[in-house]
């Protein structure tokens, strides 16, 4: 066939570009004769766009508009992988539901090898540099040049992109590489350039274990749950259920039974888990039952591993997929079951374009093809409880009993320490008995803020208007948003009269405070400052598991689904950290965190004890979490939300206007309110409100809270599309977040 000959077949293609003005557009192309008839919906192609050739996805056959074929350009190439048609429809549905661009949603469903944006390549930050923490803690005796010192000073504990490190320190990459050779810095490839889901990476062998036949017999309560859920599975069409079971009640066992049923009739299943790095056991559990039929998909896999798993799934070799958020897009054959474990977990929402929630995606996907969506949690989201009036309950633990919870009222505890005398005594007792304890403090660093006691001045980031955290490991104040570091001034920079005080103690401080009580080698710390990779997470967890006695200290990472049989004491060092954040879910999150972390105690034969230190023992969410009064908590919360018009009684869309020039950001938000106000009632629009600037960008927020969510979304989508270009020309960017989970 001569090159350049074109058939008259026309297809509609969405080029995978990031530029918003193009990312929502569909272009018509001619199919070259050699491919005539073989180009289907879902085909991956390369197409000319302007002066470039760009990857794209065929989303429809036939022209989208009546243009004569002479004016159309031909497709440049057709690639071998393709996207199943079902997933093309899903991408369209997500773009519609979350007001995201079609190109960004298609990026979620294209084969992994294709996941690199052609546009904006400079935004792809590949190399990530971070300190080797142990080194920075001691005096290392290594002499550094001025340039090298600048780099070491610039890199925060959590690391930063190589390019940025060089820019901040004003050096070339060679300086960084020298420091890597000296063992002071570590250079890694940033795991995922699109999603932030796996900032923590973990390498798994994809070699499959032999499936074992060891299925424990179910307890009566589990038996009943499986029975009822299998009935739901058999229902024709789409169904949704909630499995509400206390921590350790054997929910995973029930998932495995449902998956086995799906497999037995030739169907496929997806099991979503929050953060794979924190709960690697679950993969092993599923693998040990189903062997090579299990595919594992998460962004910590190397690109080639990922592609290999993807193809195994496409070919139907792997019919079960276990993975984090993005695994909800896995091209599983004959999908009939999606299970979302720990469905309250915040990692199910993607906090960047496209801002989808995996649960909604699962709903859309199964609603289109039929199947069961099962959410499992010990602390279900308030929103789920309203929809699902008859959850399947598990109230007994498979082994061990529910630990006793005690409040430690910090107002009555003398001394300035972070741990009350009662708590210290309990820890000492655990050590004496050679058992283990977990201490949760949901704040990183040494001091959450540093302020002047005389004039009240608080040290904030000059770019972000967020309070700076003191990190003793680097001896500097760090901005947790942008990573910028500052020297701690000796006196208050505002009144010049008093020294600064370090308040709001974090895990670094707790770690130190424990040193006089617990031998150094018995304390294990788990937070994103010390564990910058999945391998390190695993090492810390394994070391802790082996250490008896042992104390695991950390942020909410320690509250995830770990199963350590020797843990008999759980301490919440400060239950109040999440109480006063400006978020209507603050109480819910506190309740969930306390309930989850309490569930880590007494999981085996040993009895568990939970100590909750708080300055607010009367805060309803703390009181009810301690009393395990779920009914009261959910009732209070629902009443409040009904009164204030929050989800589930309204659907939210969050709009943020951002600009370097604060007046433009404000004007952008005000005009948005005016435009929305022509169609929505006054109670449906909240704001505009000023938010803290981030990285030198001023931000104003408008929240739409509407009973009729689909009408509100349509309206917002229409208004934003109309304003976007004009705003951009004035230097104002608009972000739209449907069903927002975070309001920072
Ligand atoms: P959950 O997912 O609700 O936290 P798991 O499924 O992890 O609970 O179960 C908690 C513990 O109990 C695990 O160690 C698990 O192996 C064990 N377990 C669960 N169900 C059974 C059963 N029917 N027989 C024996 N052990 C069980
Ligand atoms: Zn900052």
pLDDT category at 208 given cuts 50, 70, 90 is: very low
Residue nearest to atom 27 of ligand 1 (CA): 398
Average pLDDT score over residue span 674-696 = 91
Average pLDDT score over residue span 297-312 = 76
Residue nearest to atom 16 of ligand 1 (CA): 250
Peptide bond into 648 cis (omega under 30): yes
Pocket test for ligand 1, best of 224, 249, 250 (most atoms within 8 A of CB): 250
Cα of 157 from ligand 2 centre, angstroms: 14
Supply the pLDDT for residue 122.
32
DSSP string, 118-129: SS-GGG---EEE
Q: Which residues contact 248 (CB under 8 A, 6 or more apart)?
A: 397, 398, 399, 400, 563, 599, 603
Cα of 276 from ligand 1 centre, angstroms: 18
Measured CA distances, 331 to 95, 112, 347 (Å): 18, 11, 21
Take residue 156 and report the two structure tokens written for it: 């925060």
Does 336 or 111 have the greater pLDDT score? 336
Give the nearest ligand 1 atom to 249 CA: 3
- Ligand at shortest distance from the CA of 341: 1
β pairing state of 6-15 and 52-61? antiparallel
Nearest-Å Rg of the Cα atoms of the chain is 27
pLDDT at 179 over 90: no
Peptide bond into 688 cis (omega under 30): yes
User: Which amino acids bring their CB within 6 angstroms of ligand 1?
Assistant: 216, 218-219, 222, 245, 247-253, 398-399, 563
Helix %, strand %, coil % for the chain, to 5?
A: 35, 25, 40
Give the nearest ligand 1 atom to 253 CA: 6
Query: 107: part of which helix (H) or strand (E)?
Result: helix 102-107
Does 669 or 137 have the greater pLDDT score? 669
The answer to whether 192 and 112 are in contact (CB under 8 A) is no
pLDDT category at 196 given cuts 50, 70, 90 is: very low
Peptide bond into 549 cis (omega under 30): yes
Query: 257: part of which helix (H) or strand (E)?
Result: helix 251-264
Burial classification of residue 681, based on how many CB atoms lie within 10 Å of its CB (0-12 exposed, 13-18 middle, 19 or more buried): exposed
The dihedrals phi and psi of 574, each to the nearest 5 degrees, come to -150, 100
Give the nearest ligand 1 atom to 378 CA: 3
Residue nearest to atom 6 of ligand 1 (CA): 250
Span 261-273, pLDDT tens digits: 999 999 999 999 9
Closest CA to 137 of 152, 127, 151: 152
Task: Output b/e per residue, 487-503; b: 16+ Cβ within 10 A.
Answer: ebeeebebeeeeebebe
Span 626-652, pLDDT tens digits: 888 888 999 999 999 999 899 999 999
Average pLDDT score over residue span 464-476 = 88
Q: Which residues contact 452 (CB under 8 A, 6 or more apart)?
A: 458, 492, 494, 495, 498, 500, 501
Span 12-46, pLDDT tens digits: 999 988 777 777 889 999 998 888 878 899 999 88
Q: What one-character DSSP code corresponds to residue 485?
A: E
Measured CA distances, 648 to 379, 637, 638, 642, 737 (Å): 16, 11, 8, 8, 16
* Ranges 225-239, 252-266, 279-293, 661-675: which has the least confidence: 279-293
Give the nearest ligand 1 atom to 245 CA: 3
Pocket test for ligand 1, best of 224, 226, 252 (most atoms within 8 A of CB): 252
Span 37-93, pLDDT tens digits: 788 999 998 888 887 778 899 999 988 888 887 888 999 888 877 899 999 999 999
The answer to whether 466 and 484 are in contact (CB under 8 A) is no
The alpha carbon dihedral of 33, 35, 36, 42 has a sign of negative
Take residue 202 and report the two structure tokens written for it: 């973990």
pLDDT above 90 covers what percent of the chain?
Answer: 43
The answer to whether 664 and 729 are in contact (CB under 8 A) is no
Span 156-170, pLDDT tens digits: 766 677 877 888 788
Residue nearest to atom 4 of ligand 1 (CA): 248
Helices and strands (DSSP H and E) totals, the chain: 21, 31
- Ligand at shortest distance from the CA of 284: 1
Does 128 or 119 have the greater pLDDT score? 128
Query: 592: part of which helix (H) or strand (E)?
Result: helix 586-598
The answer to whether 87 and 313 are in contact (CB under 8 A) is no
The answer to whether 567 and 435 are in contact (CB under 8 A) is yes
The answer to whether 26 and 60 are in contact (CB under 8 A) is yes
Residue nearest to atom 15 of ligand 1 (CA): 250
Give the nearest ligand 1 atom to 563 CA: 14
Residue 350: strand, helix, or coil:
coil
Cα of 119 from ligand 1 centre, angstroms: 47
pLDDT at 242 over 60: yes
Q: What one-character DSSP code corresponds to residue 499?
A: B
Residue nearest to atom 12 of ligand 1 (CA): 398
Distance of alpha carbon 390 from alpha carbon 741, whole angstroms: 25
Supply the pLDDT for residue 137.
40
Cα of 401 from ligand 1 centre, angstroms: 13
The alpha carbon dihedral of 531, 536, 542, 546 has a sign of negative
Residue nearest to atom 20 of ligand 1 (CA): 250
């Amino acid at each position: 066939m001569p090159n350049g000959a074109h058939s008259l077949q026309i297809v509609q293609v969405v080029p995978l570009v990031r530029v918003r003005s193009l990312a929502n557009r569909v272009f018509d192309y001619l199919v070259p004769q050699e491919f005539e008839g073989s180009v289907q919906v879902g085909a991956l192609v390369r197409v000319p766009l302007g002066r470039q050739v760009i990857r794209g996805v065929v989303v429809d056959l036939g022209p989208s508009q009546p243009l004569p074929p002479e004016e159309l350009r031909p497709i440049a190439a057709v690639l071998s992988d393709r996207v199943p048609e079902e997933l093309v429809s899903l991408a369209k549905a997500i773009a519609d539901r979350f007001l995201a661009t079609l190109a960004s949603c298609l990026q979620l469903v294209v084969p992994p090898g294709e996941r690199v944006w052609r546009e904006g390549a400079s935004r792809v930050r590949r190399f990530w540099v971070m300190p080797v923490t142990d080194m920075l803690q001691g005096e290392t005796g290594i002499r550094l040049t001025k340039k090298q010192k600048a780099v070491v000073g610039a890199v925060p504990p959590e690391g930063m992109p190589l390019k940025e490190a060089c820019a901040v320190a004003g050096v070339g990459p060679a300086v960084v590489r020298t420091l890597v050779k000296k063992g002071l810095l570590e250079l890694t490839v940033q795991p995922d350039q699109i999603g932030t889901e796996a900032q923590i990476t973990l390498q798994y062998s994809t070699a499959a274990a032999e499936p074992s036949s060891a299925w424990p017999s179910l307890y009566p309560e589990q038996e009943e749950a499986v029975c009822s859920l299998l009935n739901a599975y058999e229902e024709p069409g789409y169904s949704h259920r909630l499995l509400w079971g206390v921590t350790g009640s054997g929910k995973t066992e029930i998932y495995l039974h449902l998956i086995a049923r799906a497999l037995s009739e030739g169907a496929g299943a997806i099991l979503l888990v929050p953060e794979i790095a924190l709960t690697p056991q679950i993969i092993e559990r599923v693998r040990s039952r189903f062997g090579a039929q299990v595919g594992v998909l998460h962004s910590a896999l190397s690109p080639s591993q990922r592609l290999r798993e993807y193809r195994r799934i496409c070919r139907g070799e792997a019919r079960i997929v276990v993975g984090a958020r993005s695994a909800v897009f896995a091209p599983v054959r004959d999908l009939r079951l999606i299970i979302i474990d720990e469905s309250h977990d915040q990692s199910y929402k993607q906090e960047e374009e496209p801002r989808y929630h995996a649960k909604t995606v699962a709903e859309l996907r199964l609603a289109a093809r039929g199947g069961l969506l099962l959410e499992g949690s010990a602390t279900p989201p308030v929103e789920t409880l309203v929809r699902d009036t008859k959850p399947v309950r598990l109230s007994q633990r498979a082994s061990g009993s529910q630990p006793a919870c005690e409040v430690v009222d910090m107002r009555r505890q003398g001394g300035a320490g972070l741990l009350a005398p009662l708590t210290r005594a309990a820890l000492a007792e655990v050590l004496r008995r050679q058992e283990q304890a977990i201490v949760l403090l949901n704040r990183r660093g040494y001091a959450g803020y540093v302020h002047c006691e005389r004039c009240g001045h608080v040290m904030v980031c000059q770019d972000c208007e967020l309070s700076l955290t003191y990190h003793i490991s680097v001896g500097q104040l760090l901005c947790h948003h942008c990573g910028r570091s500052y020297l701690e001034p000796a006196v208050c920079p505002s009144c010049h009269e008093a020294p600064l005080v370090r308040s709001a103690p974090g895990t670094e401080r707790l770690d130190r405070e424990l040193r006089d009580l617990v031998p150094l080698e018995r304390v294990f710390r788990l937070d994103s400052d010390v564990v910058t990779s999945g391998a390190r997470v695993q090492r810390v967890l394994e070391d802790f598991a082996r250490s008896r006695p042992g104390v695991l200290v950390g942020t909410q990472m320690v509250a995830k689904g770990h199963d350590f049989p020797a843990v008999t004491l759980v301490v919440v060092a400060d239950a109040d950290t999440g109480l006063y954040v400006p978020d209507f879910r603050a109480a819910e999150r506190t309740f969930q965190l306390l309930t989850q972390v309490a569930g880590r105690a007494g999981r085996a034969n040993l009895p568990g004890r939970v100590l909750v230190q708080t300055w607010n023992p009367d805060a309803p969410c703390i009181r009810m979490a301690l009393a395990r009064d779920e009914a009261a908590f959910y009732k209070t919360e629902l009443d409040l939300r009904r009164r204030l018009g929050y989800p589930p009684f309204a659907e939210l869309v969050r709009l943020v206007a951002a600009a370097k020039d604060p007046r433009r950001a404000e004007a952008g938000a005000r005009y948005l309110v005016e435009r929305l106000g022509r169609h929505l009632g006054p109670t449906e629009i909240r704001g505009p409100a000023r938010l803290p600037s981030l990285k030198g960008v001023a931000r104003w927020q408008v929240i739409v809270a509407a009973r009729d969510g689909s009408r509100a979304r349509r309206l917002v989508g229409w208004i934003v599309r109309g304003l976007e270009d004009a705003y951009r020309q004035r230097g104002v960017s608009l972000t739209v977040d449907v069903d927002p989970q975070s309001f920072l």
